[in-house]
Amino acid sequence: MLTEEQRKIGRRTFLKAMATLPVAGAFAFAARQKERHAQPVQAGIIGTGSEGCVLLEQSPKDRIEYKAMCDIRPDSREQGLKTIQKIWESKPDVYPGDYRKLLERDDIEAVVIATPLWMHAQMAIDALEAGKHVFCEKTMAWDIDDCKKMVQAARRSKRVLQVGHQRHSNRLYASALKMIHGGLIGEVYYIRTLWHRNTDWRRPVPKMEDLRKADPKFDPEQWGYKDLEQLVNWRLYNKYSQGLMAELGSHMIDVTNWFMGGVPKRVLGSGGIYQLKDGREVEDHVYVTYEYAPNPIGPNGTTVTFTSITSNAFDHYYEQFEGTKGTLILTGEVEAMLFKEGEDKSTAIEVKRPAKGGPVMEASESRAAAAAGTEVGAAETGEQLDRLEPYRMELEGFCSAIKYRAEVPCTGETGLAAAAAILKANEAIKKGEPVELGKDLYSV
- 88-103 per-position pLDDT tens digit: 999 999 999 899 999 9
Positions of CATH 3.30.360.10 in the chain = 4-24+168-389+411-441
pTM: 0.90
All CATH 3.40.50.720 domain ranges of the chain, comma separated, are 28-166
- pLDDT tens figures, 137-187: 999 999 999 999 999 999 999 999 999 999 999 999 999 999 999 999 999
Q: pLDDT digit string (tens) for 191-211?
A: 999 999 999 999 999 999 999
- Residue with the bigger pLDDT between 21 and 49: it is 49
pLDDT at position 241 is: 98
Q: In what order do the strands lie in the sheet containing 93-95?
A: 93-95, 64-70, 41-46, 110-113, 133-137, 161-164
CA–CA gap between residue 89 and residue 80 (Å, rounded): 13
Tell me how far apart the alpha carbons of residues 234 and 236 are, in angstroms, rounded to a whole number. 5
- Give the three-class secondary structure for 125: helix
Query: Tens digits of per-residue pLDDT, 111-139?
Result: 999 999 999 999 999 999 999 999 999 99
pLDDT at 397: 96
CATH 3.20.20.100 matches 28-166: no
- What are the strands, taking DSSP E only, across 116-263? 133-137, 161-164, 188-196
Q: What pLDDT was estimated at residue 256?
A: 98
In sign, the C-alpha dihedral spanning 159, 149, 265, 318 is: positive
DSSP readout, 42-78?
Answer: EEEEE--SHHHHHHHHHS-TTTEEEEEEE-SSHHHHH
pLDDT of residue 112: 98
| CA pair distance 429, 271, nearest whole angstrom | 6
Residue 152's pLDDT is: 98
Write out the H or E segment, with its range, that includes residue 340: strand 335-340
Buried b (16+ CB within 10 A) or exposed e, 75-113: bbbebbbebbeeebeeebebbebebeebbebeebbbbbb
- Evaluate whether 391 touches 58 at the Cβ level (below 8 Å): yes
User: Cβ atoms within 10 A of the Cβ of 375, count?
Assistant: 17
Q: What is the pLDDT of residues 287-343, one digit of tens each?
A: 999 999 999 999 999 999 999 999 999 999 999 999 999 999 999 999 999 999 986
Separation between Cα atoms, residue 402 and residue 89, nearest integer Å: 24
For the cut 50, the answer to whether the pLDDT of residue 7 exceeds it is yes
Q: How many CB atoms lie within 10 A of CB 20?
A: 10
Please give the Cα distance from 318 to 402 (Å, whole number): 32
User: Looking at per-residue confidence, does 162 or 9 come out higher?
Assistant: 162
What pLDDT is recorded for position 384? 53
Residue range 4-24+168-389+411-441 forms a domain whose CATH class is alpha beta
| Residue 400 backbone phi and psi in degrees, to 5 | -65, -40
- pLDDT bin (cut points 50, 70, 90) of residue 29 is very low
pLDDT in tens, 337-383: 999 998 655 433 333 344 443 433 344 554 454 333 344 434 344 45
- Please calculate the CA angle 209-214-219 and round it to the nearest 5 degrees: 60
Confidence (pLDDT) at 369: 46
CB 259 within 8 A of CB 177: yes
DSSP 98: -
Element (H, E) at 323: strand 317-323
Element (H, E) at 279: none
Rg (CA), the chain: 21
pLDDT at 20: 84
Residue 288 DSSP SS3: strand
Q: What is the pLDDT of residues 217-271, one digit of tens each?
A: 999 999 999 999 999 999 999 999 999 999 999 999 999 999 999 999 999 999 9
